[in-house]
Amino acid sequence: MAKKILRINMSTLKASYESMPEKWARWAGRGLTSAITCDEVDPLCHPLGPNNKLVIAPGWVTGTPAAPSSGRTSFGGKSPLTGGIKESNAGGLSGQMIAKLGLAAIIVEGTPAQGKWYTLVVSKDGVKFEDAVNLVGKGMYEVDEILWEKYPKTAVIGIGQAGEMKLSNAGISVNDPENKPGRYAGRGGMGAVMGARGVKAMVIVDAGGPGVGIENMDLFKQGRKKLTESIQEHGLTKKGGALNSFGTAVLVNILNEAGGLPTRNFSAGQFEGAIKISGEAIAEVCEKRGGEGTMGHGCHPGCIIKCSNIYPDAEGKALTSCIEYESTWSLGANCGIDNLEFVAQMNRACNDVGVDTIEAGNAIAVAMEGGLLPFGDAEGALKTFDEIRKGTPLGRILGQGVEATAKAFGVSRVPVVKHQSMPAYEPRAVKGIGVTYATTPMGADHTAGYTICPEILGVSGKVDPLSDEGKAEASLTFQAATAFIDSTGYCLFIAFPILDIAKGWEGMAESVAGVTGMNVTGADVVPLGKEILKMERLFNERAGFTAEDDRPPEFMLNEALPPHNVKWTITNSQLDSVFAWVHDGQPA
Amino acid sequence: MRVTVKLFATLVRFKDGTRVGKAFEIELPEGSNVRNLIDVLNIPMEEAHIVFINNIIEEIQSKLKDGDVVGMFPPVGGG
Ligand code: SF4
């Protein structure tokens, strides 16, 4: 059955189904949210104004039987944080359920009457617009619980108080199989875009949906088998491997050892308390406290990597899920905090109030540098989330992210590119990831082109992280492959096995070809990814971005980072070479 | 010569009584390299995936010298 586009108009409170137009037919996931954003959103519009849209799309293979770890949902539109195009994707229950309803994408547009908030209930019978007065002002833990009372076992997409206030760091939450918030499309303020549409929550009811059609079952099965085997064979993603045993926070110690763990607002590359906030420490707490605490948790049904965790409180009750590497770093090392209990509580607070953990931790770190509270003040840091929840002036400043906070507190060490703050890898100590931060259309984002693989992890070969050589080319290849994977619906973590094991790479492409009937092989991954990147770069150009926006922050050129005492040394012309092909080498 | 060793993630199980990242010392003959150290620790070669000497990623044939600090990791990743 051909997939449909569901268009929800919040001005008229009407929904309509459209057949997939030819121009978008090739795309899904990130490729589709970016194509729709490029076609329908004015790049110069105000991100919170009536002309922005929230576009939601599952990947090509999402919702198919047992494609491993493929439940991602992409959320796209114009970002209030960066002012450019944004695709932010999340795990959780939503992707598979949207796909099973036969939907390629949901476009939410228009603005309801002032002050009105809605819960959109999307099922096979259409869309119900329910008054969300019972949810307004509530955090996501309560929202998920209330909505499951009426709609059990559904996917819940929602925003916390930060999204209601349309703060630039507001994320979109997706519930996990235990109906807890925590799978976030966090980056870039997409929660504010949802809030600007007057949508507090969306409930996806997949019962009775037509399911996802598969054009060539044999090819799909063949691809799925190869991909599954590669995940099960690779040391990193197999059962009992590092991701499964320690979660993504297993990275804390290796980045610290490499001198690339940003510490105290990017003023050092090593944190003396790193071990205490690492994946190994999280696993130890889960083991000791037991109860609901666990490592090896899957964020959606069908994940076979299971990198997630449920962090228990002292009584063994679930406190938060999941403590990711980026979160334990941003709320920990980057704030000089080595107390895992407080990191866990802040993680929960982020998931409840609805903000991105990376930007939130960075904003606190900048405020610490600006004198609001001392580095290492865990209690004080936790209290800042109450400020956001209550919408105090301080909370609103912090909730706007790093740049606004730096201005408010007179700080010049501002670790952002395109107004979005940097994740947990120091570009001065790991140069390739700095190229990705600088040049991705998304603003500083590690997932956009994860050169950490060869630079630190020894995945897809080994290159020297401190060297400038070949980093521009490597970043582009990773960015293109990522744009493709973000469109498949597969979790990006399949990249680890498929970069090392050739049959996995082929299998990914074959499974996409099997589902869609498109002629896609492993050789098409990078070219198709480049098409997506080109759309996104052109949107950003129309939004006013120039080469000057593809630059790391000034302080990284001036300040030497311990322990290696290195500065940013990659030249601007090397940075400009990454996307020179978009205009055939000519200036934009 | 003596080198200081730190083991991480699943490698901790190869040294009785150690904890994640806890430094311990090992006596090695002069001229030893990373491979010799991995052998002394009884760690299967494929599990010692990334080895740092003094915060720089090195190869298994890299020579060690007295006072070096070695950090060892199995395949790890995330994001
Ligand atoms: S590997 Fe982790 S993030 Fe990816 S789908 Fe599985 S649990 Fe979710």
- Per-residue pLDDT tens digits for A539-551: 999 999 999 999 9
Q: Which residue of B has its CA nearest to A254?
A: B73
Give me the total of CB pairs closer than 8 Å, taking one residue from chain A and one from chain B. Answer: 102
Question: Would B29 be classed as within a structural domain?
Answer: yes
Residue with tokens 């905090």: A337
Question: Would B13 be classed as within a structural domain?
Answer: yes
Best of A250, A466, A492, A501 to substitute, by most chain B Cβ atoms within 10 angstroms, is A250
Nearest to A250 among B6, B47, B78 (CB): B78
Confidence of residue A67 (pLDDT cuts 50, 70, 90): confident
Enumerate long-range contacts of A522-530, CB under 8 Å, 24 or more apart. Answer: A525/A480, A525/A481, A525/A484, A526/A477, A526/A480, A526/A481, A526/A484, A527/A480, A528/A31, A528/A483, A528/A484, A528/A487, A529/A479, A529/A480, A529/A481, A529/A482, A529/A483, A529/A484, A530/A480, A530/A483, A530/A581
Question: Is pLDDT of A111 > 90?
Answer: yes
Contact at CB, B74 and A242, closer than 8 angstroms: yes
Question: Would B79 be classed as within a structural domain?
Answer: no
What's the whole-number mean pLDDT along residues A195-220?
Answer: 97
Question: Which pLDDT score, from 0 to 100, does residue A1 have?
Answer: 60
Q: Which domain holds residue B27?
A: 2-73
What's the whole-number mean pLDDT along residues A428-435?
Answer: 98
pTM (two decimals)? 0.98
CB of A326 within 8 Å of a chain B CB? The answer is yes
Mean pLDDT of all residues in chain A? 97
Distance to chain B for A78, nearest Cα, Å: 24
Percent of chain B with pLDDT over 70: 100
Confidence of residue A316 (pLDDT cuts 50, 70, 90): very high
Question: Which pLDDT score, from 0 to 100, does residue A78 have?
Answer: 98
Question: Would B68 be classed as within a structural domain?
Answer: yes
Can you tell me the ipTM of this complex? 0.98
Among A14-18, A33-37, A190-194, B75-79, which is the least confidently predicted range? B75-79
- Chain A 235-264, residues with CB within 8 Å of chain B CB atoms: 235-236, 241-243, 245-251, 253-254, 257-259
Question: Would B8 be classed as within a structural domain?
Answer: yes
Query: Rounded to the nearest 5 degrees, what angle is found at the Cα of B12, between the Cα atoms of B57 and A297?
Result: 95
Question: Which pLDDT score, from 0 to 100, does residue A66 have?
Answer: 74
Question: Which pLDDT score, from 0 to 100, does residue B77 have?
Answer: 94
Closest CA to A61 of A480, A490, A486: A490
Question: Is pLDDT of A257 > 90?
Answer: yes
Question: DSSP character for A20?
Answer: P
Question: Would B78 be classed as within a structural domain?
Answer: no
- Quick: pLDDT tens for A214-237: 999 999 999 999 999 999 999 999
Distance CA A214, CA A427 (A): 42
- Domains of chain A, with CATH numbers? 4-204 (3.60.9.10), 248-424 (1.10.569.10), 427-500+521-588 (1.10.599.10)
Q: How many domains does chain B have?
A: 1
Contact at CB, A464 and B75, closer than 8 angstroms: no
Question: Which pLDDT score, from 0 to 100, does residue A345 have?
Answer: 98
Question: Would B20 be classed as within a structural domain?
Answer: yes
CATH number at residue B20: 3.10.20.30
Closest CA to A71 of A89, A88, A96: A96
Q: Which residue of A has its CA nearest to B6?
A: A257
Confidence of residue A130 (pLDDT cuts 50, 70, 90): very high
Question: Is pLDDT of A328 > 90?
Answer: yes
Question: Would B42 be classed as within a structural domain?
Answer: yes
The amino acid occupying position A201 is A
Closest CA to B29 of B56, B76, B64: B64
Confidence of residue A285 (pLDDT cuts 50, 70, 90): very high
